[in-house]
Amino acid sequence: MKKFSLWLCVLLVIFCALIGFRYGHILTKDEGTIRLIVSTFILDTTSRDFVKFDETISVTRYVSKNSGESRYDIIKKVLSDLGWSYKTQEGAALFFQKDKDIVVVETKLVTEDYFIWDVPIEARE
């Protein structure tokens, strides 16, 4: 039984070290939370394009893989599905319009592999 416990502890330490090497740099960012690490792990292990990792009273936060020039396509698709039409991009902000309402989706590169995008609550209504 002691051998089994020892091996289990060794495997746990190795697993934690591997996770730390792969996702530990996210913890050094402003948004570095366990939820963000879990969300990026989900992105890496599934075929999902984005994962919701946080919600505040003003925004819903998602994380996606950084696919270079086409990284904002997923945001455009999600907002289009909600009835918003893409208007323009200024820096890291994307502007969408529905009727006379305009919402701004802000994006932020977390690492070179992942970026966060914040969808205002009014866009979800």
Query: Residue type at 46?
Result: T
Q: Which two tokens stand for residue 30?
A: 């402003």
Mean pLDDT of 113-125: 87
Nearest to 121 by CA among 109, 100, 104, 108: 104
pLDDT-wise least confident of 11-25, 78-92, 98-112: 11-25
Give the pLDDT band of residue 4 (cuts 50, 70, 90).
confident
- pLDDT tens digits for 11-41? 887 776 666 666 666 665 666 577 888 888 8
Instruction: Give the global pTM.
Output: 0.78
Q: Which domain holds residue 64?
A: 2-124
Q: Got the DSSP string for 41-86? A: HHHHHS--SEEEEEE-SSEEEEEEE--GGGTTHHHHHHHHHTT-EE
* Long-range pairs of 65-68 with CB within 8 A, sequence gap ≥ 24: 65/113, 65/114, 66/109, 66/111, 66/112, 66/113, 66/114, 66/115
Domain count across the chain = 1
